[in-house]
């Protein structure tokens, strides 16, 4: 084993990833760190992204780094000199998809021994995953985690120039890296990270271990980024955090909260502001009232509830009750009557009884959700719920999921139907996937709309009268 290899052989530890100390978050300036250039000239890359918006935003940063190194994006996997899988660890099937893909990519490596195959994102933050890669996927050249994306130039230099395998994953609270270059996926809608990590430790969830401590970005860095996006012609931003409502909780020297950030961003000339994800425990009335001002603050809130049973919520460590959740929802509808609410729900959490599941159905009816992501509980190694007794069969959990989905779909349709005959504003994304004479875009309430219109409208905000509504989409006509 060479020296370089040893230098870059750091494995993760879920136990270390659990630790939280109360020290200030280090801020790293990528420009000061970065001194390798140009060795990607003439070479190409391809990244496959799994998981949530946090990963999508990270992929944009990884692309930014690769392009500064003068790599260009390949159209196909076959022709790429580097393939990176930016992975998600939140449920077992997300991980299985990645292992399946790694199996498939073995052939590519055979065809092109110079191909560099890398795995990054949340999965490498788990020791079991790194052990499995070491044991069964010898042809993976590069493994890094969520905390050390900014070190990619260094790692690639070692892999490309020294032909050494690099495995380096930090299980730490994490830092904030500013000034990372970025190739954004979309020219009109942008992700803006306002914080990283999560300190909630919901008992089923792996994210606090894969993403580290909750750490908020300096408000000026956020506002500067948004101003830059405005200069570049962006129309919509989505503020990202695992629990955006706790933004600023970690500031030691200033008192500046999510509601303050919304007040400041509301003043900027950006057409649309969204945010995700909200935590019901920290969503304060102040924030609700600010959102009620409307304007560029969009009437759409994704508010994961997870369960409608107080016993289950307690076991999940969600730190709210169904009563407090309902009260929050009541206030949201009171102050923002036009709002569209969506949620996340887990069925089959260990020990969930039929009655407790029924309570979730009741809560769904009460809250009038217009959509939801629903999941069967998936056991995650290293989380507290891993050891909770669970006697419910998978078949039974599936039955609950389908029953819940039937109810959720009624909400989707109701949420679409209420716009029939109404005039809505659509940010036009592009041509419809099914018909290239039709444009597609999203309303302020985040509903997909298809309408006939000229391609020149792409990127603009257009007024459309809704003529018919289906469960998943609205159809309309442009108002002249
Ligand atoms: N921070 C966000 C999103 C986290 S992951 C939040 O708190 O809402 C997105 C969703 O995945 C969660 O809301 C939850 O519904 C689901 N999820 C997380 N861990 C899971 C697990 N072990 N099994 C099934 N679903 C899970
Ligand atoms: Fe996971 Fe809970 Fe954090 Fe969301 S708030 S990322 S569900 S631990
Ligand atoms: Fe998945 Fe990591 Fe997001 S585990 S859901 S990609 S934070």
CATH number at residue 456: 2.40.50.140
Confidence (pLDDT) at 251: 94
Residue 173 is assigned to a structural domain of this protein: no
**Does ligand 2 have an atom closer than 6 angstroms to the CB of 195?**
no
pLDDT, tens digit, 9 for 90 and up, residues 27-43: 999 988 777 778 899 99
Contact 54, 60 (CB under 8 A): no
How high is the pLDDT of residue 434?
Answer: 86
> Which of 243, 245, 375, 385 to probe ligand 2 with, by most ligand atoms within 8 A of CB?
243
Q: What is the pLDDT of residue 22?
A: 74
| pLDDT tens-digit map of 271-307 | 999 999 999 999 999 999 999 999 999 999 999 999 9
Residues 255 and 363 in one domain: yes
CA of 138 to the centre of ligand 2 (A): 33
Which of 344, 379, 405 for a ligand 1 pocket mutation test, highest count of atoms within 8 Å of Cβ? 344
Residue that terminates a domain, selected from 136, 168, 200: 168
> Could you tell me the pTM of the whole model?
0.97
Is residue 7 in a domain?
A: yes
> Does residue 381 sit in the same domain as residue 434?
no
Identify which ligand lies nearest to the alpha carbon of 129: 3
Domains in the chain, number? 3
Shared-domain flag, residues 205 and 313: yes
Q: Is residue 354, in this structure, part of any structural domain at all?
A: yes
Claim to verify: residue 137 and residue 90 sit in the same structural domain: yes
Least confident of 1-15, 243-257, 324-338: 1-15
* Same-domain pairing of 457 and 381: no
Whether 1 has a pLDDT exceeding 60, the answer reads no
Based on the fold, state whether residues 226 and 128 are members of the same structural domain: no
411/428 same-domain check: no
Instruction: List pocket residues of ligand 3, CB cut-off 6 Å.
Output: 51-52, 54-55, 88-90, 122, 206-207, 210-211
Whether residue 65 is found in the same domain as residue 121 = yes
Q: At residue 3, does pLDDT exceed 60? A: no
* Boundary-marking domain end, from 138, 168, 198: 168
What is the distance in A from the centroid of ligand 2 to the CA of 6?
34
The predicted-structure confidence for 159-202, as pLDDT tens digits, reads as follows 988 888 999 999 999 999 999 999 999 999 999 999 999 999 99
* Digit-coded pLDDT (tens) for 81-93: 999 999 999 999 9
Q: Is 202 near ligand 2, meaning CB less than 6 Å away?
A: yes
378 shares a domain with 355 = yes
For residue 145, what are the domain limits?
3-168
Ligand 2 contacts CB of residue 205 (under 6 A): yes
**Hey, what are 456's tokens?**
């020149």
Residue, of 3 and 123, whose pLDDT is higher: 123
Co-location of 134 and 255 in the same domain:
no
- The ligand minimizing its distance to the Cα of 380 is 1
pLDDT of residue 163: 85
Same domain membership, residue 367 and residue 281: yes
Q: What was the pLDDT predicted at 6?
A: 65
| Cα 355 to ligand 1 centre (Å) | 22
Tell me the percentage of the chain whose pLDDT exceeds 90: 92
In-domain check, residue 176: no
Supply the residue whose CA is at minimum distance from atom 1 of ligand 3. 88
277 prior amide bond cis, ω within 30:
yes
Residues 237-257 have a mean pLDDT of 96
Distance in Å, CA 183 to ligand 1 centroid: 27
CATH number of the structural domain spanning residue 225: 3.80.30.20
| Final residue belonging to a domain, choices 168, 201, 225 | 168
Ligand 2 atom showing the smallest separation from residue 318 Cα? 2
The response to whether residue 207 sits with its C-beta less than 6 Å from ligand 2 reads: yes
Tell me how far the alpha carbon of residue 461 lies from the centroid of ligand 2, in angstroms.
34
Regarding whether 405 and 448 lie in a shared domain, the answer is no
Give the model's pLDDT for residue 4.
Answer: 56
Q: From the CA of 146, give the closest atom in ligand 3.
A: 2
How high is the mean pLDDT of the chain? 96
Q: What confidence tier does 321 reach under pLDDT thresholds 50, 70, 90? A: very high
Top mutation candidate among 17, 91, 202, 320 for ligand 2, by most atoms within 8 Å of CB: 202
Is 204 near ligand 1, meaning CB less than 6 Å away?
yes
Query: Does residue 175 lie in a domain region?
Result: no
The response to whether residue 243 sits with its C-beta less than 6 Å from ligand 2 reads yes
Q: What is the pLDDT of residue 63?
A: 98
Nearest CA to ligand 1 atom 10: 344
């Amino acid at each position: 084993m060479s020296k370089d290899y040893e230098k870059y052989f750091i494995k993760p530890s879920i136990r270390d990833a659990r630790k939280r100390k109360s020290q200030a978050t280090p801020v790293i300036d990528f420009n000061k760190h970065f001194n390798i250039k140009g060795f990607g000239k003439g070479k190409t890359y391809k990244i496959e992204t799994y998981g949530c918006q946090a990963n999508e935003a990270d992929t944009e940063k990884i692309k930014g780094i690769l392009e500064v190194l003068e790599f260009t994006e390949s159209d196909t996997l076959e022709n790429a000199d580097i393939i990176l899988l930016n992975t998600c660890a939140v449920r077992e099937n997300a991980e299985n998809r990645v292992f399946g893909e790694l199996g498939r990519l073995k052939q590519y490596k055979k065809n092109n021994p110079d191909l560099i195959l890398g795995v990054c994102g949340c999965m490498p933050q788990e020791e079991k995953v790194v052990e499995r890669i070491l044991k069964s996927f010898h042809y993976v050249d590069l493994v890094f985690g969520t905390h050390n994306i900014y070190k990619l130039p260094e790692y690639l230099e070692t892999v490309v120039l020294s032909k050494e395998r690099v495995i380096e994953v930090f299980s730490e609270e994490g830092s904030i890296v500013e000034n990372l270059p970025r190739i954004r996926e979309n020219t009109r809608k942008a992700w803006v990270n306002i914080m990283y990590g999560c300190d909630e430790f919901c008992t089923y969830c792996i994210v606090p271990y894969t993403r580290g401590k909750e750490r908020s970005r300096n408000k000026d860095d956020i506002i500067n980024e948004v101003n830059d996006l405005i200069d570049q012609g962006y129309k919509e931003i989505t503020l990202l955090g695992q629990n955006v409502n706790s933004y600023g909780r970690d500031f030691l020297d200033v008192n500046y909260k999510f509601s303050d950030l919304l007040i400041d961003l509301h003043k900027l000339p950006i057409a649309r502001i969204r945010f995700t994800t909200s935590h019901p425990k920290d969503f304060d009335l102040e924030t609700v009232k600010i959102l009620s001002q409307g304007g560029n603050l969009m009437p759409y809130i994704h508010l994961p509830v997870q369960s409608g049973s107080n016993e289950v919520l307690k076991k999940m460590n969600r730190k709210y009750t169904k009563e407090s959740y309902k009260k929050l929802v009541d206030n949201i509808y009171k102050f923002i009557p036009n709002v569209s609410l969506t949620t996340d729900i887990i069925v089959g959490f260990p020990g969930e009884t039929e009655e407790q599941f029924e309570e979730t159905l009741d809560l769904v009816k009460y809250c009038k959700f217009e959509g939801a992501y629903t999941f069967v509980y998936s056991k995650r190694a290293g989380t507290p719920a891993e050891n909770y007794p669970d006697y419910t069969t998978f078949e039974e959990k599936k039955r609950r999921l389908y029953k819940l989905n039937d109810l959720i779909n009624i909400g989707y349709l109701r949420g679409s139907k209420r716009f029939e005959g109404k005039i809505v504003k659509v940010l036009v994304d592009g041509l419809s996937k099914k018909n290239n004479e039709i444009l597609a875009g999203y309303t302020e309430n985040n509903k997909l709309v298809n309408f006939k219109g000229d391609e020149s409208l792409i990127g603009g905000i257009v007024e459309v009268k809704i003529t018919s509504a289906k469960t998943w989409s609205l159809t309309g006509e442009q108002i002249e």
